[in-house]
Amino acid sequence: MSTATQDVVISREVAASRARAGVAYGLGAYLWWGVAPLYFKVMVARAPGLEVVAHRILWSSVFLVGLILVRRQGATLWRVMFHTPRVLGVLVCTAALICTNWYLFIWVHETGQVLQASLGYFINPLISVALGFVILGERLRRLQVVAVAIAACGVAYLSLASGEAPIIALALACSFAAYGLIRKLVAVEAMVGQTIETLLLAPLCIGYLIWIQTYGGGTFGAQSRSTDALLIAGGVITAVPLLWFTCAARRLRLVTVGFLQYLAPSGQFLIAWLVFHEPLSTERLICFVVIWIALAIYSFDALRATRTKPR
């Protein structure tokens, strides 16, 4: 085997290994997010949504800074924050996007609209696919186009049948799709970038938490140790899947990331229906079935493409 051929084989093996790692990260993130409503439903019953968001960000920053120190990435963190103003400016935007997404996600738990969140994250992959096609020039195979079109029809049907625009669902979808695209493009390591995002937001959160504690509206330390522990645990619950998502987004095409994302809203859908007993209309059920048909078509096409790819 010539040196050039060996280089090609090694390059393919590295690419395949990178893709497998990306899929593993993506599966971990979306399955985690799929069961997240169980945690947040408990939290919004104990504390106001805005306070839960503030604790999520604060304890995420503490957790992530600890990981940065353990991994000896402090110098990289410092360089990005203080010597790369363009990257820092982009991370300010991604921090705003993810903060908006987090608050809306908790708000639907407060108001008993987890099915709305599920719809939003069903729409999200379609927006990710569109961004990948329009901005990054990613191309779809014929069956992939069919799958995307079927899924879009399912979401459109549900929107029309409900008689109103799903504003919260669209806001959740757009904020997270934009976050994923920007984080894929910005030249910063996943953990460092996420740490900076939470550090940028942490001062605002600390100020808010001090204010509500001062005026007697804070939950932390006022209820029980279990509530305090759950608020602190929000840091890990928030940071770990987002780290996995960022790692997946940097290793996979946005088309693949887009369809992996169906795992999270499927879990949220089932929990909202079976555990929280939110009403399930016929229209929502039809949309759910149609989208899973689209996912089955996409998965079949991806498997076939893998098996027929030259070795």
Give the amino acid at 44: V
For residue 102, give both structure tokens: 């987090």
Residues 6+ apart with CB under 8 A from 11: none
Range scoring the smallest mean pLDDT among 51-60, 194-203, 251-260: 251-260
For residues 262-273, one letter each, b for 16 or more C-beta atoms within 10 angstroms of the residue's C-beta and e for the rest, the string is bbbbbbbbebbb
290, pLDDT greater than 90: no
Q: What does the pLDDT look like over 199-241, one tens digit per residue? A: 999 999 999 999 998 887 788 877 788 889 999 988 888 888 8
Q: What does the pLDDT look like over 27-45, one tens digit per residue? A: 888 889 899 899 999 998 8
Q: How far is CA 107 from CA 116, 255, 259, 280, in A?
A: 11, 29, 25, 20
238/115 Cα distance (integer angstroms): 20
**pLDDT for 222:** 77
Q: How confident is the model at residue 59 (pLDDT cuts 50, 70, 90)?
A: very high
Alpha-helix residue ranges (DSSP H) falling in the chain: 3-44, 49-70, 74-83, 85-110, 114-134, 142-162, 167-185, 190-214, 225-251, 254-260, 263-270, 282-308
Give the amino acid at 139: R
For the chain, what is the mean pLDDT?
A: 83
- Predicted TM-score (pTM) of the model is 0.80
**pLDDT for 128:** 78
For residue 304, give both structure tokens: 């076939």
> What is the domain partition of the chain in residue ranges?
17-145+164-268
**pLDDT for 186:** 85
Give the amino acid at 196: I
Give the amino acid at 242: L
**pLDDT for 303:** 66
Instruction: Determine the distance from the C-alpha atom of residue 56 to the mean position of all C-alpha atoms in its chain, rounded to a whole number.
Output: 15
210/206 Cα distance (integer angstroms): 6
195/183 Cα distance (integer angstroms): 13
Q: 3-state class of 310 per DSSP?
A: coil
DSSP label of 73: -
Between residues 204 and 283, the one the model is more confident about: 204
For residue 234, give both structure tokens: 């929000």
Q: 3-state class of 169 per DSSP?
A: helix
237/221 Cα distance (integer angstroms): 20
Give the amino acid at 137: G
